[in-house]
Amino acid sequence: MNLGRTAVLAAMAAGAATMLVGCPHDEYSVELWPKGQEIRRHVVVRHGENADSANVPTTTSDTDKAHRDQFGGDLGGNSGRYWNYPSEFGSASAYLERIRGIEDQATALEDQNKAIDRLADFVLAWSKKQFGKEREYAKLADAIDKQARKDLKNVMLLAWMADVGKRFATTGPDDRAAQIAMARAAHYLIEHDYITQSDVPLLTTSQPDGEKAEAIKAFGHRLLARKAGLTDKAFIERLAAMVGDWEKTQKSFEDFVADNSEFKKAHKAWAKRHPDKKPAPATAPQTDEDPEPTVSNWLIEPAFASAVNLIDLGTPDDFAITLHVPVKPWFTDGEWNEAARTVTWKFTFPKTEKGVPAACHAVWMAPDEKGQTEKFGRVVLTGNELMSYCMWRNSLTNAEAAEWTKFLATLKPAADNTALLEAFRFSAGAKGWPEGAVLLRNALLTPTTTRGEE
């Protein structure tokens, strides 16, 4: 990735998906069946070479395992939990899973802002070497240091927000995230006077190379005068000429960075870690987890990390996750199917551990109808009340649990359960009215017709 391409990553988001169609990718199909303290997890991985319907994906992995509490490592970078809180009257359960991405987004954003600051500092130092003797250089330096630095941080923050939205769209692919990011970035640039109404036709209309170059040069003249407040026509012309000869300008900047002591130090450290590797050409693809430092991956790309992540540079994999549950979840970010009693998530994610993670969540409470009917003649605990009861029940000490179990044996449909619950107290420890007894008593006093599975 060269400097020019990196600088316009945010504007390429919409086209990136099209470019990736037909690339080799993996398809992950996951089915989950929770039962008591365990969750059965069936994962099938299929590899496809392209999007051609004639190309049938080949199954490369098929695993079926039961897990307690924690699972992961089967989706190319994932971490999940299944928690179940049982009780005599039903259970409360939670399924949570992160798929790829960086969980520590606060640090990722801090690192990106630091990278933008470092890039701005290098551009300032390079521009001073090139134009430091110009009469109006101070204006240009101020525009880079105070305006461009801040504006790039805000545009990258918008790209990050769009990436968050994209990863939250777990019920199916949503290309609008990239489009929204472009719209908001364009709005920001317009509001901050980078682009005017008359500039839009110029920047979006195809023209012969020569005419286009002159038109872009004229745009550059106006932008420099508008944003940096430059009035020296000779200085503006010199700046515009450097933009016009972008390859020469890029090489000048890369040579400047490569000669910097900080970059040399980073390259020396890499060479020490990889004594057997020879320096690669600057244009060579960097696919290693610890790539050789280049001006692009050491300085430029970290400053545009959110745009890179939003575009999903790399091959996107397909994920289809299905959770089988007995009742409609109290909360989920997936798609509930009442007839099938399933929650599904569908999304794509590139082969990377960068960017905002995708995630799946579901929380549900399943009443034990038989257990409740044996004690109360009907189902009385559902939804939030059942969740609260399960949490309370699982918080009891061994002694309290034994005493509570003994007390429950006295409850029967024909008994005055309300009076028994109101009178119950633990013999030791907290002397107040136990929460579980309160929940059951209140549930018994609630008419059946007003209750539902919240």
Q: Are residues 253 and 186 part of one domain? A: yes
pLDDT of residue 441: 94
pLDDT of residue 176: 62
By DSSP bridging, strand 25-35 and strand 316-324 are parallel
Q: Are residues 159 and 256 part of one domain? A: yes
Q: Are residues 134 and 229 part of one domain? A: yes
Q: What is the dihedral of CA 193, 199, 205, 208, to 10 degrees?
A: -110
Q: Are residues 116 and 65 part of one domain? A: no
Q: Are residues 390 and 362 part of one domain? A: no
pLDDT of residue 410: 94
pLDDT of residue 102: 84
pLDDT of residue 188: 83
Q: Are residues 362 and 282 part of one domain? A: no
Tally of domains in the chain:
3
Q: Are residues 230 and 123 part of one domain? A: yes
Q: Are residues 318 and 232 part of one domain? A: no
Q: Are residues 392 and 303 part of one domain? A: no
pLDDT of residue 177: 61
Final residue before a domain boundary, out of 281, 311, 341:
311
pLDDT of residue 7: 40
Q: Are residues 298 and 190 part of one domain? A: yes
Q: Could you tell me the residue range of the domain that residue 428 belongs to?
A: 370-450
Q: Are residues 214 and 153 part of one domain? A: yes
Final residue before a domain boundary, out of 333, 351, 366:
366
Q: Are residues 49 and 170 part of one domain? A: no
Q: Which positions of the chain have pLDDT values less than 70?
A: 1-23, 50-57, 168-181, 202-214, 216-217, 278-288, 312-315, 429-430, 448-454
